[in-house]
Amino acid sequence: MLRLYCKYRPPNLKWPECLKNNQIRQNHFDSKAYQACHISFARFVLYGLVGSVASIYSIQNYNDLQTLRSFFNTELPPVRDDIFKERREIERISGIMQPMSDNPNYYLIIGPHEVLKKAEYMSKNQKTLKDLAKTINYPKFDVNLIECLSYQLTGTSHSYKFYWQNVLSRFEEFASKVAKKYSIHPILIIDDIAEISERDVEELQNIAKTAADHRLYTVVFIASDANLIKNFMKNSSYSRCATLYIGDFSKDEALAYLTNNCKMDTQMAKRIFDLCGGRISHIVSVVSVIDKLINKRKILGKRVDYNDDEFREEVIKKIDERISMIKDVYRIAWDAYIPEKSKPTILEFICNNLDANFTRGDIIRLFEDEEKGEYIFSTLLRNNIITYNVGAIEFGAPIIKAMFTELCEKRTRKLLSFNI
């Protein structure tokens, strides 16, 4: 700013003399050059402030969105190979996921919390298909199918890059070559169909039925909850579909997994179950950070023993940090997806029903507009904030109950402060 002033000061005058002379100073500050500089600087400051605020807001929104995507739309941390080992329903599903010479079929597998796609046998199946691709000279399989299908068919923001019809045609070309050379039928897995438009799902269903009828390949649809896919079940081709369901861990399953498979002591396993319940995605997330801690300690030559106080303290710290992170993600989902005007109504209802079961109709009737109520219900269900269980709604995960308990307490304090 000083340089701009000095640039237009009268010639043959030093700056202190310029400031002492009122007339000269008045002429100088009234000059068009100064006014232009002053206005430009004011605009620069204003735009800079607005730009900074907008940038911070945009960065925060982007970070929140990335956090949401990392939890809801992409893979969880690596899942242990034996996480589903004791579950009977997995035996049939595992068989479905293997390319076989048997007659191909079309399936719907329902797992409430994106459980199924985390199973280790699916990654093995992908490796099998990649190996097959190499033997039939199909080098573009890895890039054009695995990546395209994972982005395109799950309704993520990356879907604009590809047309799923083109991806599907590439898969059919691959399936045809594999069938001719090896007499086996590949599997096409379409994940999270609730995020795909109804028209596309209907078309994919018809394609799946045709593929099964003509012994081309097997199609497996995966859904987060049966309540979200009523239109899928109304399609006439659904009669050809076999439906399977896989749910979260029971208490005994969770404790057995943590103690037998993850080698935790009983006290630590109970602590994790108390915080996560049977929600497999939460348990997997917590176990992953403990695995990282164990590997780090082994590299440093430190003890890995639950009887060691230092190790236990580190484990507990990691568990609490991960639980807090998961809770924050649900809080972001609540803030991002529930309309601001609807939050007081739904929050009051939730505060009064934290430990009770309720129905879909109970939520919809909270709002005069039925479509609005349906939207709120579907949003809560799609983001796993509530769980649909045999006609009744429940929270299911202790982490979510804890989050709403905090929101309810905050709401109560706010109401009390207004009354005072």
Nearest C-alpha neighbor of 338 from the set 397, 389, 395, 378: 378
User: Long-range contacts: 293-300, Cβ < 8 Å, 24+?
Assistant: 293/318
Torsion of CA 398, 388, 87, 113, to 10 degrees: -70
With cut-offs at 50, 70 and 90, classify the pLDDT of residue 316.
very high
**Fold (topology level) of 88-245:** Rossmann fold (3.40.50)
Q: Is the pLDDT of residue 209 over 80?
A: yes
Torsion of CA 100, 123, 283, 95, to 10 degrees: 0
Return d(Cα 290, Cα 321) in angstroms, integer: 11
> Could you check whether 88-245 and 338-420 share the same CATH topology?
no
- Tell me what the pLDDT averaged over the chain comes to: 70
287 vs 81: which has the higher pLDDT: 287
Return d(Cα 409, Cα 194) in angstroms, integer: 33
Helix (H, G, I), strand (E, B) or coil at 350: helix
Q: What type of residue is 218?
A: T
Architecture in CATH for domain 338-420: Orthogonal Bundle (1.10)
pLDDT digits (tens, 9 = 90+) for 82-127: 554 445 556 666 667 666 656 677 888 776 544 554 444 444 555 5
Per-residue tokens: 7: 């640039």
pLDDT digits (tens, 9 = 90+) for 277-293: 888 778 888 998 999 99
298 vs 141: which has the higher pLDDT: 298
Mean pLDDT, range 19-26, rounded to an integer: 42
pTM of the model: 0.57
What residue ranges do the domains of the chain occupy? 2-54, 88-245, 249-327, 338-420
